[in-house]
Chain A
Amino acid sequence: MSEEIVQLTIDDVEVEVEKGTSILEAALKVGIEIPSLCYLKEINEIGACRVCLVEVEGVKALQASCVYPITQPIKVYTSTERVRKARKRAVELLLSEHDRECTVCIRNLNCELQNVADNLGIRNLRVTGESKNYPIQMDNPFIMRDYNKCISCRRCEAICSKIQEVHVYSAQRRGLNTVIAPAFMRDLGSTNCITCGQCVIACPTASLVEKEAIEDVWAALEDKDKYVVVQTAPSIQVTLGEIFGMETGTIVTGKMVAALRRLGFKKVFPTDLSADLTIMEEAHELIERLQGHGKLPLMSSCCPAWVKFAEHFYPQLLEHLSSCKSPHEMFGALIKTYYAKKEGLDPKKIVSVAVMPCTAKKYEASRPEMGWDGYKDIDYVITTRELGRMIRQAGIHFRNLADEPFDMPFGVSSGAGAIFGATGGVIEAAVRSAYAILNNRNKEMGLIDFEELRGQSGVKEAMVDLGKKKIKVAIAHGTGNARIILDRILNGEHYDYIEIMGCPGGCVGGGGQPILGGRDHKRISLDYRHNRADALYKIDMHSQLRQSHDNPDVRKLYEEFLGEPLGEMSKKLLHTTYTPRGLYFNLLK
């Protein structure tokens, strides 16, 4: 691989880049950030918005720098009068049709359009277009769509088609009437959307946002008759800090717990505990299947976006899915049964809230299977971003909070539960336990860290030694990557255990996580997912407990209530069923 190097100057500063690099990327090397909107590195390079215009000496027309490959020594000017004017015009045009109600907008202060307009110093609009007055679509429990805020950058389409390979969006109609929309401009709830929320993360404006449940949660907290408990997914503790300006990867477990108490939650529990529980159940399922009962490979089922993906696109493989509910649903079921009984609470009065990294959990909580006898396992799911907003609404100085521990019981969780939040974590955790169970709980296993199962590459495969048996495992994150493994299986390749996470990077890259404005986010960079995941592995490293089956709370739970993994009670409360939904026929009216 001999990379050809090209020299050029940008605003008279010399710089060397590999041949083919875009001007926009080259400019970053000399510390110049060219404004951009439609650009997402390697995902959406379509030159549509014309915000990134620059002057190239000797070329008459201004050029879109995000799609201009450098092939020879050129001179680029990024901030001439002409460039500034043209960029302004491009943004003014977008703003002229935009519903510019920033003060009441969910993306206020974290919006790329607003940011670009401000950076360009746009103070008045010379043209104002007609407002389109589309009704807001919110006929589903997870994502709202407001076409009046859409700038047709097509980033949602790119991520949904190229990374997730679900293809919900495409350009509909033409000319001035073009919209980037699902087929028939339907509400996402009546499409094959897997509810992952990656499009929400990709959207530079408030055209796609999570459906908030904040007001419902406030109302429950206000209601003296209710007993409101909350659980937080493993990944929240490593991302929440970002909302308050902390570095990516900062661990804020203690502050998060303190903030939740101040908000008025009666009990604050870590979902990590039920991640341990999931592992117990799933490890036993794996062993059962390895012993010939049930289909191999076993596939993880803790990501509801992946589950819905399988229901739509691979219904023939549904039997492979573990029947485990996702951890927060398991926890929800236990809170209204085991915990209610133990504390003498009326389950009807308990309101169970889950803080989750994703929009798919909002969807999952609404599935009719997720409850029993008229109870819902979980009443409200809020995302990391929504929790951040609640903390801000309450005026809490998050950064100054003193650390507080989780509530007991359930307050103890293992490192294995924590790494659930990163791609590869579920398998690693399950294998730790399966190994110990198969080898009679030999603590000196020396097998605790499976480095080869970690990291951000899209598809990972490994042979894992379980002592008595070697098994072949595979890991994919992002449903586009999942297709690679699933197609291999359909072509007859053998695996024993597969972990699939719907979002790139796993839950740390979830669709409900903080949206990092500015450059990092524009690249949907893997870097921040790295940092977040590393933080989870750090928590694991420093845990007293590293294996789910060693968790005394989990043991107690089985002794006092559940009986055995995969026992009758477990099956009733912790397991679920799936529905083949098919490709598109389910959309027929």
Chain B
Amino acid sequence: MQLKEKPVYKEIDAVIEKYNKPGGLIRILQKVQDMYGYLSEDVQIYIADRLKLPISEVNGVVTFYSLFSTKPKGKYTIGVCLGTACYVKGANDILKKIKDELKINEDETTEDGLFTLRATRCIGACGLAPVITVGDDVHGRINPGEVPKILSKYREKDVDTNIKNKDKVSCFRVAEYIKE
């Protein structure tokens, strides 16, 4: 067996140098994820080796926090809210419909790299239940039948959305947007 040649990730080394102190692991992982969009196995292994931390521990941290992603993300992340209000209004059927349409499961990305699917908790737009987000857009009061139409919009062109700040989204504007 040949010992693999040590790869060098200069950018990662720079991050490690900056944040390498007790308790710094999460910061390092965050910064590296910002750089690549996700934390691949190889990147996790590299960080573990450099920090001399057990790889099991690094991977444990990465899989524990939902803020970390271990797979490349699609251009648009679809978030299906499974909070109580949305759930009651049939969010599960919508989730299922999206899965069928895209042929992926939760936390997976479509082959064309366009969509990543996630189930989320309440996003604070209960008035619009059931709610999904696509990228920065919020789509409310939808039914499964509308799913193909919504998705095709993003497929056809990369819709430049007019709603950017989803945290402060005004429910009425969203509703208007969807009704068009």
Contacts and interface: CB of A to CB of B under 8 A. Distances in A.
Nearest to B70: A184
Given A579-B3, A588-B7, A170 B57 contact: yes
Nearest to A584: B49
A170 B48 CA distance: 14
Contact of A170 (B6, B49, B59): B59
B44 A183 contact: yes
A589 B42 contact: yes
B147 to A, nearest CB: 26
Contact of A584 (B1, B55, B60): B55
Interface in A141-200: 161, 167-174, 181-184, 191-192
Contacts of A170: 54, 56-57, 59-60
Interface string A571-589: 0000000011111111111
Contact of B42 (A182, A580, A588): A588
Given A173-B64, A184-B41, A588-B45, A581 B57 contact: no
Interface string B30-59: 000000000001101110110010111111
Contact of A586 (B4, B54, B59): B4
Contacts of A183: 44-45, 48, 55-56, 58-60
B3 A174 contact: no
Nearest to A183: B59
A430 B4 CA distance: 36
A585 B6 contact: yes
A583 B1 contact: no
A172 B56 CA distance: 8
Contacts of B57: 167, 170
B170 interface: no
B143 interface: no
Contacts of A588: 4, 7, 42, 45-46
Nearest to B65: A174
Interface in B37-94: 41-42, 44-46, 48-49, 52, 54-60, 63-64
B63 A172 contact: yes
A589 B41 contact: yes
A1 B178 CA distance: 75
A585 B55 contact: no
Contacts of B48: 183, 583-584
A586 B3 contact: yes
Nearest to A367: B1
Contact of B49 (A161, A182, A581, A585): A585
Given A183-B44, A589-B42, A583 B60 contact: no
A309 to B, nearest CB: 14
A184 B63 CA distance: 9
Nearest to A161: B54
Interface string A332-360: 00000000000000000000000000000
Contacts of A587: 45, 55
Nearest to A192: B55
Given A171-B60, A184-B41, A582 B3 contact: yes
Nearest to B59: A183
A6 B42 CA distance: 54
Contacts, number: 72
B52 to A, nearest CB: 7
A582 B55 CA distance: 13
Contacts of A161: 54
Given A168-B56, A169-B56, A174-B63, A583 B42 contact: no
A471 B48 CA distance: 39
Contacts of B60: 170-172, 183
A193 to B, nearest CB: 10
A314 to B, nearest CB: 13
A167 B55 CA distance: 8
B75 to A, nearest CB: 25
A168 B60 CA distance: 11
B54 A167 contact: yes
Given A183-B44, A588-B45, A172 B59 contact: yes
A181 B60 CA distance: 9
B49 A583 contact: yes
Nearest to B60: A170
Contacts of A184: 41, 59
Nearest to B42: A588
A377 B48 CA distance: 37
Among A174, A184, A191, the most chain B Cβ lie within 10 Å of the Cβ of A184
B137 to A, nearest CB: 29
A581 B3 contact: yes
A581 B1 CA distance: 8
A313 to B, nearest CB: 10
Interface string B148-161: 00000000000000
Interface in B1-42: 1, 3-4, 6-7, 41-42
A588 B140 CA distance: 43
Interface string B120-152: 000000000000000000000000000000000
A358 B44 CA distance: 32
A582 B58 CA distance: 18
B64 A585 contact: no
Contact of B56 (A182, A581, A582): A182
A174 B41 CA distance: 18
A171 B64 CA distance: 9
Contact of A167 (B3, B42, B56): B56
Interface in A543-589: 579-589
Contacts of B64: 171-174
A573 to B, nearest CB: 22
Contacts of B45: 183, 584-585, 587-588
Among A170, A172, A579, A589, the most chain B Cβ lie within 10 Å of the Cβ of A170
A172 B70 CA distance: 13
Contacts of A181: 56
Contacts of B52: 583
A583 B45 CA distance: 10
Q: Closest 4 A-B residue pairs measured CB to CB?
A: A167-B54, A183-B59, A170-B56, A170-B60
30 contacts: A169-B56, A170-B60, A171-B60, A171-B64, A172-B56, A174-B64, A183-B58, A183-B59, A183-B60, A184-B59, A192-B55, A579-B1, A579-B3, A581-B3, A582-B4, A582-B6, A582-B49, A583-B48, A583-B52, A584-B45, A584-B48, A584-B49, A584-B55, A585-B3, A585-B7, A585-B45, A585-B46, A585-B49, A588-B4, A589-B42
Given A183-B60, A586-B3, 18 more contacts: A170-B56, A170-B60, A172-B56, A172-B59, A172-B60, A172-B63, A173-B64, A181-B56, A183-B59, A184-B41, A192-B55, A579-B3, A580-B3, A581-B1, A585-B7, A585-B45, A588-B4, A588-B42
Interface of B: 1, 3-4, 6-7, 41-42, 44-46, 48-49, 52, 54-60, 63-64
